[in-house]
Structure 1
Amino acid sequence: MIAIVQFLAKNKAPFTINIYPFLSLYGNDDFPFNYAFFDGDTTPIVDATTGIQYTNVFDANFDTLVSSLKAAGFGDMTIVVGEVGWPTDGDKNANAEAPHCDLDISKFTLFGLIDEDAKSIAPGSFERHWGIFRYDGQPKFLVDLSGQAQNKLLVPAKNVLYLPKKWCMFNPNAKDVTKLADNINYACTYADCTALEYGSSCNNLDANGNASYAFNMYYQVQNQDDLSCNFEGLASLTTQNISQGNCNFIIQIATSSTFSLRPSLVGLLLMSLSALMLL
């Protein structure tokens, strides 16, 4: 590590650090919840060596790096926070409320513009939900990009065209459900079902609701191909929105392509447009 720091110093490059307070909560159920947020805990944690009081883990982690660089003789090195964020689904602590903040866009790099529904979930199901926009270019939450309370909020993508209002759901008249689990697993292998995870936005669905969510995600990924809503007779089509509460059963974005595109890949086509709208 010292060799890397020496290289950075020699080339007058900054030291980049990624700080994710969310991961502190994700990795430890005993971690003090409020300490993960910038508004801090009511009871500061005191560093036994320096006597400095910390009200949030971000500041504590940042100062740990500052102290380490000073101890190594590089106290004047510029430090850049390369990544910081909060996922909005896929875990019990992931939500759209936590990210509310004022952000000076000139000092930060936005890591995730749109959710990535094909991203590896090896670290956790939340990995697909770092975006500040939904798959269709609609903002997830209010955030002032000026950082100066100027209400320069995220601008939603306009004139988004969706496929017809059709959903794929569990067939209540299905006779043989012995292969239901296998069909749900198949659907979730080729579509994103992370919203069904414990504590996530669709975690409160019943067994039939879980099946419907999985079947619909696959059906939409396949651009509403009627043949993709069968699942050995376990699924059927409906024109009634089967979303429940905070659990949104999506409709795919319309595309002229004849190939099946996943929601996030279609969303990439909106990325340039959304980025321009942020300016």
Structure 2
Amino acid sequence: MGFNPKVYSKVLLVVVYLVGLFDRVSGIGANWGLQSTHRLPPETVVRMLRENGIQKVKLFDADYDVLKALGKTGIEVMVGIPNDLLQTMATSTKAANNWVSQNISTHLSKNAVNIRYVAVGNEPFLATYNDTFLSTTLPAMKNVQAALVKAGISSQVKVTCPLNADVYDSSPSGMPSAGDFRADIHEYVLQIAKFLSDSGSPFTVNIYPFISLYIDANFPVEYAFFDGNASPVNDGGTTYYNMFDANHDTLVWALRKNGFGNMPIIIGEIGWPTDGDRNANLLYAQRFNQGFMAHISGGKGTPMRPSPIDAYLFSLIDEDAKSIAPGSFERHWGVFTFDGQPKYTLNLGTTNSGALVPARNVQYLEKKWCVLKNGVKLDDSNLAPSVSYACARGDCTSLGYQTSCGNLGTDGNVSYAFNSYYQIQNQKDEACKFDGFGVVTRSDPSSGSCKFPIMIRPYYYSGANQRFSHLRVSLSSVIGVTLFFWIVI
């Protein structure tokens, strides 16, 4: 049989498709959040993604600058629609059409961004939302899906909704095989699962063993990791040595019991924070994330789903403007610090060095810090309001019990608070006054594991994310006064 160019072309297309499919399910992804007072330029972050071999990125909105920077890189992108837009998307097909046109179609056609998913909402069924999004999540997903169909891109871009792992449970036995969707939201999740199945979309879930350890002092620590040191759990002959596998397979059982046994699953978020709690530290974070990478290497899955795991590490970079309502650790999930420097050795299996590659050409402010002036009496009644003000508008989450800066002493805690505010305010002279309590120094006050950071030069995004500048003050001010009391004691 002679050479047939048409047949060859078809075979080549199939091979390319299969290679792309393999990359999608086997490559590691990362969550890239923007709730920071000072952000690295998008081009810097995208270069860092590429140099670290990170093939997928999950966003929480559709920032124009970020998406444009991802153009022509081949990096697979999941674009997010924030929860505060669910009501609009659910009630207006025009709004959904416009959103898809501006944030998906434009970037596909003009900027060559490899957008594969739209995440409609983010953990909208969390109990803390008090059912706010129960009735709008699915209608929003349907309208966005209809907009993708109308735009002619529904085969390329799929709708999903990242849900927290608490949407299912395994009561009363606690075994994965007892898994089902939670009784109070069963119908809502079931309807979403049916929609996802009908549209050929994956079920996205966020799994956090750290949170289980954080909320339950009796949680077996070793079961959170992948070392095989935990007491195994036997579920009818299936043995589980870590919480991730058990939690994942609880979802598999829940989907199977409700008629969706073959539905693809994406792990939207998985990771371990490095500060802000006694169990959030570099040692545990490195152990967990490296253990997870080793656990899924070579395409290994879980007992109920032995196929490759599709996952996004949470997160790429620390975000110092995130709400700390869930806990002070929320600002410390990154495998990189705010300035793109690796926190610890992590081998993703994608670099020649076997380690993370830092951000390049980062521009910093001057090497100077704001600290407590010598001779200040710590019982001065005017000092407390200054520290409270600094923490409300800065970041004092490293000053808790058994955290990286937990052993500074009262004067060190005050200096840390002052410097955080000073750096976030771009080292403006007036930002270190604090009624005469602060003074600028060029001597680094860092001590041991506690680093007094110097902020990077501000980068101004053109996108809609500037709204976070209003949000972060209101969230922080609620906790500012409370923070002072445990700082000075």
Residue identity opposite 1:68 in structure 2: A
Partner residue in 2 for 1:127: 330
> Secondary structure at 2:205's aligned position in 1?
strand
- In the TM superposition, 1:155-174 aligns within 5 A as 155-174=357-376
Q: Aligned-residue CA RMSD in angstroms?
A: 2.4
Residues 165-174 or 121-130, more deviating: 165-174
Q: Give 1 or 2: higher helix fraction.
A: 2
> Secondary structure at 2:436's aligned position in 1?
coil
- In the TM superposition, 1:25-36 aligns within 5 A as 25-36=213-224
Residue identity opposite 1:41 in structure 2: N
> Secondary structure at 1:81's aligned position in 2?
strand
Q: Which has the larger radius of gyration?
A: 2
Residues 69-78 or 17-26, more deviating: 69-78
Q: Among 8, 14, 22, which residue is 2:196 paired with? A: 8
Partner residue in 2 for 1:154: 356
Q: Among 210, 231, 249, which residue is 2:434 paired with? A: 231
Distance 2:323 2:218 in 1: 26
Tell me whether 1:78 sits opposite 2:296 in the alignment. Answer: no
Partner residue in 2 for 1:240: 443
CA contact (8 A) 2:270 2:311 kept: no
Provide closer, same or farther for how the CA distance between residues 256 and 124 of structure 1 changes in structure 2, counting only shifts above 3 A: closer
- In the TM superposition, 1:99-248 aligns within 5 A as 99-100=285-286, 101=290, 102=293, 107-146=310-349, 151-174=353-376, 177-248=380-451
Q: Among 64, 70, 88, which residue is 2:250 paired with? A: 64
Distance 2:425 2:345 in 1: 31
Residue identity opposite 1:16 in structure 2: T
Tell me whether 1:46 sits opposite 2:46 in the alignment. Answer: no
Residue identity opposite 2:361 in structure 1: N
CA contact (8 A) 1:15 1:78 kept: yes
String of CA shifts for 1:99-156, please: whole Å, max 9, x gaps: 3314769943344221110111111111111112111111112222226x95443211
Provide closer, same or farther for how the CA distance between residues 178 and 2 of structure 1 changes in structure 2, counting only shifts above 3 A: same
Residue identity opposite 2:244 in structure 1: F
Offset, 1:161:
2.9
Residue identity opposite 2:256 in structure 1: K
CA contact (8 A) 1:94 1:126 kept: yes
- In the TM superposition, 1:86-105 aligns within 5 A as 86-100=272-286, 101=290, 102=293
Offset, 1:255:
4.8
Offset, 1:87:
0.8
Tell me whether 1:20 sits opposite 2:222 in the alignment. Answer: no
TM-score, structure 1 as length reference = 0.84
Distance 1:18 1:191 in 2: 28
CA contact (8 A) 1:177 1:234 kept: no
Aligned-residue identity in percent: 52
Provide closer, same or farther for how the CA distance between residues 81 and 255 of structure 1 changes in structure 2, counting only shifts above 3 A: closer
Provide closer, same or farther for how the CA distance between residues 216 and 173 of structure 1 changes in structure 2, counting only shifts above 3 A: same
CA contact (8 A) 1:187 1:214 kept: yes
Offset, 1:160:
2.3
CA contact (8 A) 2:274 2:282 kept: yes
CA contact (8 A) 1:191 1:217 kept: yes
Distance 2:230 2:364 in 1: 46
Residue identity opposite 1:54 in structure 2: Y
String of CA shifts for 1:8-64, please: whole Å, max 9, x gaps: 1111211111100000101101111111112233421223xx232221111110111
Unaligned runs of 5+ in 1: 258-263, 266-279
Residues 18-27 or 169-178, more deviating: 169-178
Partner residue in 2 for 1:55: 241
TM-score, structure 2 as length reference = 0.49
Distance 1:26 1:69 in 2: 27
CA contact (8 A) 1:115 1:131 kept: yes
Distance 2:340 2:389 in 1: 27
CA contact (8 A) 2:266 2:310 kept: no
Offset, 1:168:
1.0
Distance 2:364 2:256 in 1: 54
> Secondary structure at 2:417's aligned position in 1?
helix
Distance 2:218 2:313 in 1: 30
Residue identity opposite 2:276 in structure 1: G
> Secondary structure at 2:247's aligned position in 1?
helix
Residue identity opposite 1:190 in structure 2: R
CA contact (8 A) 1:174 1:233 kept: no
Distance 2:426 2:204 in 1: 41
Partner residue in 2 for 1:277: none
Distance 2:416 2:241 in 1: 40
CA contact (8 A) 2:267 2:310 kept: no
Distance 1:109 1:55 in 2: 22
CA contact (8 A) 2:272 2:314 kept: no
